[in-house]
Amino acid sequence: MLRRRDFLARAAATGIADAISGPARAAVRAGMARTVLGPLPASKLGYTLPHEHIADGPYFLNKWRKGGRAAFTAEAVEKLKQVRAAGIDTIVDLTTYDVGRDIRFLEEVSRKSGLHMIAATGQRFFPPRYPDVTMPSRTVEGLAAFFVKEIEQGIDGTGVKAGVIKIGVVAGRPTGLEETGLRAAARASKATGLPIRIHTDAARRAGESDAVILEEEGMDPSRVSFDHSDGNGDIAYFLGLARRGYRLGMDHVHRGLAANAEPSFERRAQNIKQLVDAGFAGKVFLSQDAEFGGSLLAEEAKDFRSKLDPQEGLLFTARTLIPRLRQIGVPDTEIRTMTVGNPRAFFAVS
């Protein structure tokens, strides 16, 4: 039996090939989720927001207000305590290294707010916007080794480990660089048992082209969520992916509130109901892709949703979307499946 320390030494020496052979998975017990404060039985995750951005502060570093980091952290903790008081138990932060992830901040606000948090490894792929960030590698093997390192050893020299892999695919079809990321994510997922969440352009049915690459890598669809899926109004798009086993993140529903938005808020809510009615509540996630850290730091950093919906932020789903789903006939049992049961199954190491 290979001990964990021996495995880490060997993985460091020989790279991803050994990591994929199995022992990485044995290092975390199945059924446990990986939070920034350590392993947690997935049954304790509770009501989970699976796609948010808490630790995106450093991108706005030049915007620190008076009081600096300490004051910012205190304000963030106060706001997160309100989220906790509203009944949310866990937030998954999908901020990757290349969009300003601050892992120490995430660990600190989790500890002080009482919210469980899960950090992400992976790539968002915005190199031109972040010229000071050096990509670790542009090969599939090199990227996969980097992801496995953030999962098994820790992030940025801390012992805080990633609990999910996030990949950004900006357009309808992956670029070469994005395809490299998708393949690396699949290999790191298979080596570690962690799930993958993908930023997709749903209006251009990106999930379908991403799935081709993931399936070439032998990825289990139930370990993949196509996020921002509600940007497509065609129920056939969702049903096709759900029937193949994929999960769907409905986390841009607030965008439907804008004048002339397509699909509208109401259309997005109705599509969620149709998925539930078709028996797929266990494939649906509800979240709101809030840029929490950035919106606290700078007026000009407030995202589209913050302007539309300044009071709700991380509570949009709980205060606006879920009440509407209840009104149109989605039963509480199915809402619980989407907010508790599906995340519990997905974020447990497999």
Nearer to Zn ion, 178 or 289 (CB): 289
Spell out a b/e string for 64-89, using b for 16 or more CB atoms within 10 Å of the CB, else e. eeeeeeeebbeebbebbeebbeeebb
- CB of 86: closest distance to Zn ion in angstroms? 21
Q: How far is Cα of residue 306 from the mean position of the Cα atoms in its chain?
A: 19
Residue 227, CA distances (Å) to 20, 26, 207, 238, 348 in order: 26, 28, 9, 11, 18
Give the range of 16-24, 94-102, 126-134, 331-339 binding Zn ion by CB under 5 A. 94-102
Give the range of 37-45, 88-96, 121-129, 216-224 binding Zn ion by CB under 5 A. 88-96
Nearer to Zn ion, 18 or 289 (CB): 289
- CB of 78: closest distance to Zn ion in angstroms? 23
- Taking CB positions, which residue lies at the least distance from Zn ion? 289
- CB of 320: closest distance to Zn ion in angstroms? 19
CB count, 10 Å around CB of 95?
28
- CB of 51: closest distance to Zn ion in angstroms? 6
Give the range of 39-47, 93-101, 240-248, 306-314 binding Zn ion by CB under 5 A. 93-101
- CB of 19: closest distance to Zn ion in angstroms? 27
Q: Which residues contact 170 (CB under 8 A, 6 or more apart)?
A: 125, 178, 199, 201
With beta carbons less than 8 A apart as the criterion, state whether 237 and 211 touch: no
CA distance 86 to 322: 13
Nearer to Zn ion, 23 or 122 (CB): 122
| Closest among 57, 124, 51, 55 to 92, alpha carbons compared | 51
Proportion of the chain in helix, strand, coil states, percent, rounded to 5? 55, 15, 35
With beta carbons less than 8 A apart as the criterion, state whether 208 and 179 touch: no
Q: How far is Cα of residue 39 from the mean position of the Cα atoms in its chain?
A: 17
98: contact with Zn ion by CB under 5 A = no
- CB of 93: closest distance to Zn ion in angstroms? 9
179: contact with Zn ion by CB under 5 A = no
289: contact with Zn ion by CB under 5 A = yes
Nearer to Zn ion, 122 or 193 (CB): 122
Nearer to Zn ion, 11 or 94 (CB): 94
Nearer to Zn ion, 24 or 120 (CB): 120
| Residues at the contact surface with Zn ion, assessed by CB under 5 A | 94, 289
